[in-house]
Structure formats: C-alpha cells, structure tokens
Homo-oligomer: A and B are copies of this chain.
C-alpha cells in the first residue's frame, strides 16, 4: 500500500510505493532502454492499459477502442491511488499519510512517436487541454491539493516507454519544491509588492541574452541560475497562478510556443532526453497575486548528477547565455 512519509528534518515528503517493484532485482530491469518492440500506447492496443479515464475521440468511436487522439489512463504502477482513504498518522518524530492521490498517464498520440516536438500544433494543444481538463476534474476531490504534470522523455530522463506521453500526479500535500517556490515568491511580493515572475520577465526582455522566444503571451528563456545545461522555462506574461484556469487563447498560444521550444531543443541537442514539469499553484488557494504558473524543462544531456542530491548544489557546465544563443539560432524547418 503506497504511503507518503515526511522527512522530520526537512519537512520533505516522499512517496514510498513498494508495490511498483516488489524486489530489488526488478529495479535493474527498469534501467533498460525503452523499446518499441511492444507499444501498449499504440492505437489498437487499448486493452494493454487499464480502462481509460478520458480521451479525445472521433465522433462515434467507443471508449477503450481505436479512434482517439489523446488518451488518459491510470498509471500501471501507480504511486498513489484515489481509492485510498486519507489517513494521517504520527509515529514519534515521523509523519505519514496514506497514499491517496491520482497517478495518470497522458498518451499524447495514437501512432508511435517518441518526440512531442514532432506532433502537430493541434495535437499539442489537445494535450494541453487534457492537462487542464484533468486538473479541473481532480480539483473537485477536496482531499487533493497539488497537481504535478510532468514528462520524462528518453531513458536518461527516466522514461520506461518511448511512446510520447506525460504524467499527472495529484497529491494530498504540497511538495517541497512548490512550497518553497510559493514561499520565495510570497516573500518577494511582501517585500517589493510585485510578482517576481513579472520582474523576471521584464529584466530578461531588457537584457535579451537569455531569451529564447519572445511571443505575445509568453517568455521562453534559460534561467539565470539554471541548474542544468539548456534548462528552459516557459512563463506566461500575464500573471495567473492556476494553470487550470487558462483560457482558450492562452492554451492555443502555449501549444505553439511549447512546440517551438521543444523543436529548438531537438535541433540544438539532437533529440535529447528531457524532463518538463508544470508548476502551478495548489488547488485549495485562490488566485495568488505573487505566483505565476510556468513550465520548467530540464534536458538530460549530462551524466547523472551526484552530489547535487546531497547538497542541493548544482554545477552547470553550460552558461544559460550560451544555451539561449544556441536555442535562438536553432531553426527547425518551418512546417516540418
């Protein structure tokens, strides 16, 4: 039974999900390169996944059969389950919560394709709509407070299947990275009365050296204190703390900008492994003037980090100014 455990020193929550892999030996197998030998996410293989939670389908196409464009299914090895009861329990200095939550997979296309950047802009927009739709739906479960939408692309980024997909984890607690980001943004706002993401956008646009794409609604840039080579963030220029409240025009433009960004990364780094994570405010707070949802992309082109895990200290061997220039200059064919 999965559970959430809290580190008593740092206040960091960890999901202990021993059902995912029952024996240490099985972990080794998980290291192997994703294979296209059998693709459970392919159209026609719908019975290889658990019954779908949601899909965009052609008119008349029945659930769990062909005829879909984007499909959401439960993770086969869920780290959390909505069926759990929310139980909180102390154990001396430790705290635990039963593993209640959602863990879903968004299958981004019915055909075999490893790079989201190769999907059409309409397909990417539909993926973003699915993200929004699932958040709106899960937000109704008042036990759940935080959504994390993320993508692991390539074995080096932790993907176990090559078919382009992303994942959604919704938890009953706010994980430490979001909590700290909220706290830092709130402190800036308290001190200076401004949204730090707005200040960042203004400074980056004035400076230009770290800008990758400047679209009407979004800034794409390599952040000043990038932890990873070619780390890239997409931030909406108009303040909004909750992604699930984005409007049609915002989602549509995000589709265009996300596709351009991923295509630039594919060209500049030769189809790299990467993770992206959507940071959005917790469900249970109103619109926060000090916070802006955004997407952080971490290419995984260098070897696995080592001491970073124990220090929080990253060594990045590519200055963000160098990365941004390479990405600005990367020119995917216009309509490929």
Contact = CB atoms under 8 A, between A and B. Distances in A.
A175 B196 CA distance: 22
Contact of A300 (B8, B12, B300, B304): B304
B317 A21 contact: yes
Interface stretch (A105-113, A223-231, A238-246): A223-231
A77 to B, nearest CB: 8
A224 to B, nearest CB: 5
Contacts of A18: 317-319, 322
Most-contacted residue by chain B among A203, A229, A302 (CB, 10 A): A302
A322 B27 CA distance: 14
A288 interface: no
Q: Indicate the member of A12, A14, A28 with the most B CB atoms within 10 Å.
A: A14
Residue in A5, A9, A157, A314 with the greatest tally of chain B CB atoms within 10 Å? A9
Contact of A8 (B12, B157, B196, B275): B196
Contacts of A125: none
A224 B93 CA distance: 10
Indicate how many identical chains form the complex.
2
Contacts of A176: 312-313
Nearest to A30: B303
A301 B152 CA distance: 18
A196 B94 contact: no
| Number of chain A interface residues as a range | 35 or more
A137 interface: no
A268 B9 CA distance: 28
Contacts of A155: 303
Interface stretch (A39-47, A62-70, A179-187): A179-187
Given A229-B27, A307-B150, A307-B167, A184 B11 contact: yes
B14 A148 contact: no
B304 A93 contact: no
A304 B158 contact: yes
Contact of A14 (B27, B158, B225, B268): B225
A220 B6 CA distance: 19
A9 B178 contact: no
A296 interface: yes
A54 interface: no
Given A6-B225, A277-B309, A302-B27, A315 B20 contact: yes
A243 to B, nearest CB: 14
Interface string A296-336: 10101111111101111111111110110010000000000
Given A24-B269, A315-B15, A10 B181 contact: yes
Given A8-B196, A148-B310, A160-B303, 15 more contacts: A8-B224, A9-B185, A9-B188, A12-B225, A79-B315, A93-B188, A93-B196, A93-B200, A94-B203, A155-B303, A158-B304, A167-B307, A175-B311, A228-B309, A298-B310
14 contacts: A8-B188, A8-B225, A9-B181, A10-B180, A15-B313, A18-B318, A20-B317, A24-B268, A31-B303, A150-B307, A158-B306, A169-B307, A177-B311, A180-B312
